[in-house]
Amino acid sequence: MTIIDGVPTTGGEHCETTSLGVLLTHAGLALSEPMLFGLGGGLSFIYWDSKQQPLPFLGGRVKPFELTRRLTERLGLDLQVHETGSERVAWERVRSTIDSGIPVGLQLDSHDLEYFGSRTHFAGHVVAMYGYDDERAYLVDTAQQGGAVSTSLTSLAAARSARGPMAARNRSFTVAFPTSVEQVRERVAAALLPAIAACAEEFVTPPIANIGDRGILTAARRIPSWFARVERPERDLPVIAMLMERGGTGGALFRNLYRDFLTECLGFDLDRRAAEVVEAGRDRFAESALLWSRVAALVQQAGETAEPERLVEAGHAVKEIAAIETSAMSSLRTLAA
Protein backbone atom coordinates (compact mmCIF):
# COMPACT_ATOMS: atom_id res chain seq x y z
CA MET A 1 0.00 0.00 0.00
CA THR A 2 1.16 3.53 -0.85
CA ILE A 3 -0.51 6.45 0.94
CA ILE A 4 0.68 10.06 0.82
CA ASP A 5 0.71 11.64 4.29
CA GLY A 6 -0.63 15.10 5.07
CA VAL A 7 -3.36 15.19 2.41
CA PRO A 8 -6.58 17.01 3.48
CA THR A 9 -9.46 14.57 3.06
CA THR A 10 -12.54 16.34 4.42
CA GLY A 11 -13.88 17.24 0.97
CA GLY A 12 -15.59 20.43 -0.15
CA GLU A 13 -18.83 21.30 -1.93
CA HIS A 14 -17.64 21.15 -5.53
CA CYS A 15 -15.55 18.36 -7.04
CA GLU A 16 -13.03 20.45 -9.00
CA THR A 17 -12.33 22.95 -6.22
CA THR A 18 -12.10 20.06 -3.73
CA SER A 19 -9.46 18.32 -5.85
CA LEU A 20 -7.57 21.50 -6.64
CA GLY A 21 -7.58 22.37 -2.94
CA VAL A 22 -6.02 19.00 -2.10
CA LEU A 23 -3.21 19.50 -4.60
CA LEU A 24 -2.48 23.11 -3.60
CA THR A 25 -2.70 22.51 0.15
CA HIS A 26 -0.31 19.57 -0.09
CA ALA A 27 2.10 21.84 -2.01
CA GLY A 28 1.87 24.46 0.76
CA LEU A 29 -0.84 26.91 -0.34
CA ALA A 30 -4.16 26.63 1.50
CA LEU A 31 -6.95 28.71 -0.03
CA SER A 32 -10.65 28.54 0.80
CA GLU A 33 -12.93 26.74 -1.62
CA PRO A 34 -14.79 29.97 -2.56
CA MET A 35 -11.45 31.65 -3.25
CA LEU A 36 -10.40 28.79 -5.53
CA PHE A 37 -13.73 28.98 -7.33
CA GLY A 38 -13.59 32.74 -7.80
CA LEU A 39 -9.94 32.97 -8.84
CA GLY A 40 -10.64 30.28 -11.40
CA GLY A 41 -13.59 32.25 -12.79
CA GLY A 42 -15.78 29.25 -12.13
CA LEU A 43 -19.22 30.86 -12.30
CA SER A 44 -21.22 30.54 -15.50
CA PHE A 45 -24.43 29.00 -16.80
CA ILE A 46 -25.35 26.61 -19.59
CA TYR A 47 -28.65 25.16 -20.70
CA TRP A 48 -28.15 22.13 -22.90
CA ASP A 49 -30.69 19.80 -24.40
CA SER A 50 -30.61 17.40 -27.34
CA LYS A 51 -32.43 14.33 -28.58
CA GLN A 52 -29.55 12.16 -27.32
CA GLN A 53 -30.06 13.35 -23.72
CA PRO A 54 -32.62 11.67 -21.45
CA LEU A 55 -32.98 14.94 -19.49
CA PRO A 56 -32.22 18.63 -20.05
CA PHE A 57 -28.93 19.73 -18.50
CA LEU A 58 -28.49 22.93 -16.48
CA GLY A 59 -24.92 23.84 -15.55
CA GLY A 60 -23.95 26.64 -13.19
CA ARG A 61 -20.21 26.68 -13.81
CA VAL A 62 -17.64 26.83 -16.60
CA LYS A 63 -16.84 23.60 -18.43
CA PRO A 64 -14.85 20.95 -16.53
CA PHE A 65 -11.16 21.71 -15.98
CA GLU A 66 -11.41 25.30 -17.24
CA LEU A 67 -11.40 26.53 -13.64
CA THR A 68 -8.15 24.67 -12.93
CA ARG A 69 -6.48 26.04 -16.05
CA ARG A 70 -7.48 29.61 -15.26
CA LEU A 71 -6.49 29.56 -11.61
CA THR A 72 -3.07 28.05 -12.20
CA GLU A 73 -2.41 30.56 -14.99
CA ARG A 74 -3.43 33.52 -12.82
CA LEU A 75 -1.21 32.42 -9.95
CA GLY A 76 1.73 31.46 -12.17
CA LEU A 77 1.64 27.78 -11.23
CA ASP A 78 3.03 24.87 -13.21
CA LEU A 79 0.07 22.75 -14.32
CA GLN A 80 1.09 19.41 -15.81
CA VAL A 81 -1.72 17.66 -17.70
CA HIS A 82 -1.52 14.20 -19.24
CA GLU A 83 -4.03 12.39 -21.44
CA THR A 84 -3.77 9.06 -23.22
CA GLY A 85 -5.97 6.47 -24.88
CA SER A 86 -4.11 3.67 -23.08
CA GLU A 87 -5.44 2.56 -19.69
CA ARG A 88 -2.07 0.95 -18.91
CA VAL A 89 -0.08 4.10 -19.65
CA ALA A 90 -2.62 6.20 -17.73
CA TRP A 91 -2.31 3.99 -14.64
CA GLU A 92 1.49 3.80 -14.74
CA ARG A 93 1.74 7.60 -14.84
CA VAL A 94 -0.59 8.04 -11.89
CA ARG A 95 1.02 5.23 -9.91
CA SER A 96 4.54 6.62 -10.37
CA THR A 97 3.40 10.11 -9.38
CA ILE A 98 1.78 8.80 -6.19
CA ASP A 99 4.94 6.79 -5.48
CA SER A 100 6.95 10.04 -5.64
CA GLY A 101 4.74 11.59 -2.96
CA ILE A 102 2.61 13.87 -5.15
CA PRO A 103 -1.23 13.67 -5.15
CA VAL A 104 -2.87 13.59 -8.58
CA GLY A 105 -6.07 15.10 -9.94
CA LEU A 106 -8.21 12.85 -12.16
CA GLN A 107 -11.10 13.69 -14.45
CA LEU A 108 -13.49 10.76 -14.86
CA ASP A 109 -17.09 9.55 -15.07
CA SER A 110 -18.65 9.47 -11.60
CA HIS A 111 -21.09 6.76 -12.73
CA ASP A 112 -18.39 4.07 -12.44
CA LEU A 113 -17.12 5.02 -8.97
CA GLU A 114 -18.34 2.41 -6.50
CA TYR A 115 -18.97 4.82 -3.64
CA PHE A 116 -20.81 7.45 -5.67
CA GLY A 117 -24.39 8.17 -4.62
CA SER A 118 -25.84 8.80 -8.08
CA ARG A 119 -25.81 6.33 -10.99
CA THR A 120 -26.09 9.15 -13.53
CA HIS A 121 -23.28 9.42 -16.08
CA PHE A 122 -21.19 12.56 -15.61
CA ALA A 123 -17.76 12.45 -17.24
CA GLY A 124 -16.79 15.92 -16.02
CA HIS A 125 -16.27 14.77 -12.43
CA VAL A 126 -12.89 15.44 -10.78
CA VAL A 127 -11.25 13.72 -7.79
CA ALA A 128 -7.85 13.81 -6.12
CA MET A 129 -5.97 10.53 -5.68
CA TYR A 130 -3.52 10.14 -2.81
CA GLY A 131 -2.91 6.40 -2.52
CA TYR A 132 -3.47 2.87 -3.76
CA ASP A 133 -2.96 -0.78 -2.92
CA ASP A 134 -3.26 -3.99 -4.93
CA GLU A 135 -7.03 -3.66 -5.25
CA ARG A 136 -8.19 -0.12 -4.47
CA ALA A 137 -7.50 3.54 -5.17
CA TYR A 138 -7.82 6.07 -2.33
CA LEU A 139 -9.45 9.33 -3.36
CA VAL A 140 -10.71 12.64 -2.04
CA ASP A 141 -14.17 13.60 -3.33
CA THR A 142 -16.72 16.14 -2.12
CA ALA A 143 -18.03 16.06 1.43
CA GLN A 144 -21.39 14.92 0.06
CA GLN A 145 -19.72 11.80 -1.36
CA GLY A 146 -17.77 11.12 1.83
CA GLY A 147 -14.52 13.10 1.54
CA ALA A 148 -11.94 10.31 1.95
CA VAL A 149 -13.25 7.44 -0.19
CA SER A 150 -11.98 4.46 -2.14
CA THR A 151 -12.95 2.50 -5.22
CA SER A 152 -11.58 -0.60 -6.92
CA LEU A 153 -8.78 -0.15 -9.44
CA THR A 154 -11.05 -1.79 -12.02
CA SER A 155 -13.82 0.74 -11.48
CA LEU A 156 -11.30 3.59 -11.50
CA ALA A 157 -9.96 2.48 -14.87
CA ALA A 158 -13.49 2.29 -16.28
CA ALA A 159 -14.34 5.75 -14.93
CA ARG A 160 -11.18 7.30 -16.36
CA SER A 161 -11.62 5.80 -19.83
CA ALA A 162 -15.35 6.52 -20.14
CA ARG A 163 -16.60 8.32 -23.22
CA GLY A 164 -19.45 10.74 -23.75
CA PRO A 165 -20.24 14.43 -23.12
CA MET A 166 -17.46 16.25 -21.21
CA ALA A 167 -15.22 13.16 -21.15
CA ALA A 168 -11.41 13.39 -21.29
CA ARG A 169 -8.86 10.76 -22.37
CA ASN A 170 -7.72 9.38 -19.00
CA ARG A 171 -6.85 12.92 -17.93
CA SER A 172 -4.58 13.35 -14.91
CA PHE A 173 -2.91 16.49 -13.62
CA THR A 174 -0.53 17.83 -11.00
CA VAL A 175 0.32 21.33 -9.78
CA ALA A 176 3.77 22.63 -8.83
CA PHE A 177 5.13 26.02 -7.72
CA PRO A 178 7.95 27.39 -9.91
CA THR A 179 8.51 30.12 -7.29
CA SER A 180 8.20 30.20 -3.51
CA VAL A 181 4.82 29.68 -1.86
CA GLU A 182 5.08 33.20 -0.43
CA GLN A 183 5.43 34.70 -3.90
CA VAL A 184 2.43 32.73 -5.12
CA ARG A 185 0.40 33.84 -2.12
CA GLU A 186 1.23 37.48 -2.89
CA ARG A 187 -0.28 37.07 -6.37
CA VAL A 188 -3.70 36.26 -4.94
CA ALA A 189 -4.59 39.86 -4.08
CA ALA A 190 -3.47 41.16 -7.46
CA ALA A 191 -5.53 38.51 -9.26
CA LEU A 192 -8.85 39.18 -7.54
CA LEU A 193 -10.33 42.05 -9.56
CA PRO A 194 -9.08 40.78 -12.95
CA ALA A 195 -10.63 37.39 -12.18
CA ILE A 196 -13.97 38.96 -11.23
CA ALA A 197 -14.05 41.25 -14.26
CA ALA A 198 -13.12 38.47 -16.70
CA CYS A 199 -15.78 36.14 -15.33
CA ALA A 200 -18.41 38.88 -15.54
CA GLU A 201 -17.42 39.86 -19.09
CA GLU A 202 -17.74 36.28 -20.26
CA PHE A 203 -21.09 35.90 -18.51
CA VAL A 204 -22.77 38.90 -20.17
CA THR A 205 -21.23 38.41 -23.64
CA PRO A 206 -21.93 34.72 -24.36
CA PRO A 207 -21.27 33.44 -27.89
CA ILE A 208 -24.54 31.49 -28.11
CA ALA A 209 -27.99 31.67 -26.54
CA ASN A 210 -27.45 28.61 -24.30
CA ILE A 211 -24.65 30.15 -22.21
CA GLY A 212 -24.30 32.91 -19.63
CA ASP A 213 -27.14 35.33 -18.99
CA ARG A 214 -28.69 34.42 -22.35
CA GLY A 215 -28.62 30.78 -21.30
CA ILE A 216 -30.62 31.57 -18.16
CA LEU A 217 -33.29 33.26 -20.30
CA THR A 218 -33.30 30.20 -22.56
CA ALA A 219 -33.88 28.00 -19.51
CA ALA A 220 -36.71 30.30 -18.39
CA ARG A 221 -38.46 29.75 -21.72
CA ARG A 222 -37.90 25.99 -21.84
CA ILE A 223 -38.66 24.91 -18.28
CA PRO A 224 -42.47 25.30 -18.60
CA SER A 225 -42.41 22.71 -21.41
CA TRP A 226 -40.54 20.03 -19.45
CA PHE A 227 -43.70 18.02 -18.73
CA ALA A 228 -43.88 17.18 -22.43
CA ARG A 229 -40.09 16.92 -22.77
CA VAL A 230 -39.35 14.15 -20.26
CA GLU A 231 -40.49 10.53 -20.51
CA ARG A 232 -41.90 10.18 -16.99
CA PRO A 233 -42.43 13.52 -15.19
CA GLU A 234 -43.06 11.88 -11.81
CA ARG A 235 -39.63 10.25 -12.02
CA ASP A 236 -37.59 12.62 -14.17
CA LEU A 237 -38.49 16.06 -12.78
CA PRO A 238 -37.39 15.16 -9.21
CA VAL A 239 -34.11 13.88 -10.71
CA ILE A 240 -33.54 17.22 -12.46
CA ALA A 241 -34.32 19.03 -9.21
CA MET A 242 -31.94 16.80 -7.26
CA LEU A 243 -29.12 17.36 -9.75
CA MET A 244 -29.72 21.12 -9.65
CA GLU A 245 -29.82 21.53 -5.90
CA ARG A 246 -27.81 18.66 -4.44
CA GLY A 247 -25.79 17.47 -7.42
CA GLY A 248 -24.56 21.02 -7.97
CA THR A 249 -25.16 21.29 -11.70
CA GLY A 250 -27.42 24.30 -12.02
CA GLY A 251 -28.83 25.26 -8.64
CA ALA A 252 -27.74 27.42 -5.74
CA LEU A 253 -24.35 25.79 -5.01
CA PHE A 254 -22.17 27.81 -7.37
CA ARG A 255 -24.04 31.06 -6.62
CA ASN A 256 -23.35 30.52 -2.92
CA LEU A 257 -19.68 29.81 -3.64
CA TYR A 258 -19.40 33.01 -5.68
CA ARG A 259 -21.23 34.97 -2.97
CA ASP A 260 -18.70 33.73 -0.43
CA PHE A 261 -15.80 34.50 -2.79
CA LEU A 262 -16.96 38.10 -3.18
CA THR A 263 -17.38 38.33 0.60
CA GLU A 264 -13.79 37.13 1.08
CA CYS A 265 -12.58 39.71 -1.46
CA LEU A 266 -13.96 42.46 0.77
CA GLY A 267 -11.34 41.49 3.36
CA PHE A 268 -8.58 42.62 0.99
CA ASP A 269 -7.41 46.19 0.49
CA LEU A 270 -9.83 47.26 -2.24
CA ASP A 271 -10.41 50.90 -3.11
CA ARG A 272 -13.77 52.35 -2.14
CA ARG A 273 -15.43 52.04 -5.54
CA ALA A 274 -14.28 48.46 -6.07
CA ALA A 275 -15.46 47.50 -2.58
CA GLU A 276 -18.90 48.98 -3.26
CA VAL A 277 -19.23 47.11 -6.56
CA VAL A 278 -18.07 43.83 -5.02
CA GLU A 279 -20.39 44.21 -2.04
CA ALA A 280 -23.39 44.91 -4.28
CA GLY A 281 -22.51 41.89 -6.43
CA ARG A 282 -22.25 39.75 -3.31
CA ASP A 283 -25.75 40.77 -2.24
CA ARG A 284 -27.20 40.07 -5.68
CA PHE A 285 -25.78 36.57 -5.82
CA ALA A 286 -27.06 35.88 -2.31
CA GLU A 287 -30.51 36.80 -3.63
CA SER A 288 -30.04 34.71 -6.76
CA ALA A 289 -29.00 31.62 -4.79
CA LEU A 290 -32.22 31.69 -2.81
CA LEU A 291 -34.23 31.85 -6.02
CA TRP A 292 -32.33 28.93 -7.55
CA SER A 293 -33.26 26.81 -4.53
CA ARG A 294 -36.86 27.90 -5.03
CA VAL A 295 -36.72 26.82 -8.68
CA ALA A 296 -35.41 23.37 -7.79
CA ALA A 297 -38.19 22.96 -5.23
CA LEU A 298 -40.83 23.93 -7.82
CA VAL A 299 -39.45 21.46 -10.36
CA GLN A 300 -39.59 18.69 -7.77
CA GLN A 301 -43.13 19.64 -6.79
CA ALA A 302 -44.19 19.56 -10.43
CA GLY A 303 -43.09 15.95 -10.69
CA GLU A 304 -44.54 14.86 -7.37
CA THR A 305 -47.92 16.55 -7.81
CA ALA A 306 -48.33 16.30 -11.61
CA GLU A 307 -49.00 20.05 -11.70
CA PRO A 308 -47.45 21.65 -14.81
CA GLU A 309 -48.23 25.11 -13.43
CA ARG A 310 -45.35 24.63 -10.99
CA LEU A 311 -43.02 24.61 -14.01
CA VAL A 312 -44.58 27.84 -15.25
CA GLU A 313 -43.87 29.38 -11.86
CA ALA A 314 -40.30 28.06 -12.01
CA GLY A 315 -39.85 29.66 -15.44
CA HIS A 316 -40.92 33.04 -14.06
CA ALA A 317 -38.44 32.69 -11.19
CA VAL A 318 -35.61 31.84 -13.60
CA LYS A 319 -36.44 34.95 -15.65
CA GLU A 320 -36.11 36.98 -12.44
CA ILE A 321 -32.77 35.28 -11.77
CA ALA A 322 -31.56 36.31 -15.22
CA ALA A 323 -32.29 39.96 -14.45
CA ILE A 324 -30.53 39.76 -11.08
CA GLU A 325 -27.40 38.05 -12.36
CA THR A 326 -27.14 40.20 -15.50
CA SER A 327 -27.32 43.32 -13.32
CA ALA A 328 -24.65 41.96 -10.96
CA MET A 329 -22.26 40.91 -13.70
CA SER A 330 -22.76 44.12 -15.69
CA SER A 331 -21.44 46.02 -12.67
CA LEU A 332 -18.69 43.57 -11.82
CA ARG A 333 -17.29 43.67 -15.38
CA THR A 334 -16.43 47.37 -14.84
CA LEU A 335 -13.75 46.31 -12.34
CA ALA A 336 -11.50 45.66 -15.33
CA ALA A 337 -10.96 49.43 -15.43
Distances (CA, A) of 329 to 201, 278, 333: 7, 10, 6
Common-topology check for domains 2-30+78-176 and 187-336: no
Q: What is the pLDDT of residue 248?
A: 67
Closest CA to 38 of 11, 57, 56, 16: 16
Q: What is the pLDDT of residue 313?
A: 98
Q: What is the pLDDT of residue 165?
A: 82
Distances (CA, A) of 326 to 214, 251, 257, 290, 293: 9, 17, 17, 16, 18
Q: What is the pLDDT of residue 213?
A: 97
Closest CA to 197 of 77, 281, 288: 281
Superfamily of domain 2-30+78-176: Cysteine proteinases (3.90.70.10)
**pLDDT by position in tens, the chain (length 337):** 999 999 999 999 999 999 999 999 999 999 999 999 999 999 999 999 988 888 998 999 999 999 999 999 999 999 999 999 999 999 999 999 999 999 999 999 999 999 997 777 889 999 999 999 999 999 999 999 999 999 999 999 999 999 988 889 999 999 999 999 999 999 999 999 999 999 999 999 999 999 999 999 999 999 999 999 999 999 999 999 988 887 767 789 999 999 999 999 999 999 999 999 999 999 999 999 999 999 999 999 999 999 999 999 999 999 999 999 999 999 999 998 6
Distances (CA, A) of 63 to 43, 119, 301, 310: 10, 21, 29, 29
Contact indicator for 302, 247 with CB cutoff of 8 Å: no
Please state the domain extents for the chain. Answer: 2-30+78-176, 187-336
- Specify the pTM: 0.94
CB atoms within 10 A of CB 209: 12
- The dihedral through the CA atoms of 328, 122, 294, 227 has a sign that is positive
Amino acid at 333: R
CATH fold of the domain at 187-336: Four Helix Bundle (Hemerythrin (Met), subunit A) (1.20.120)
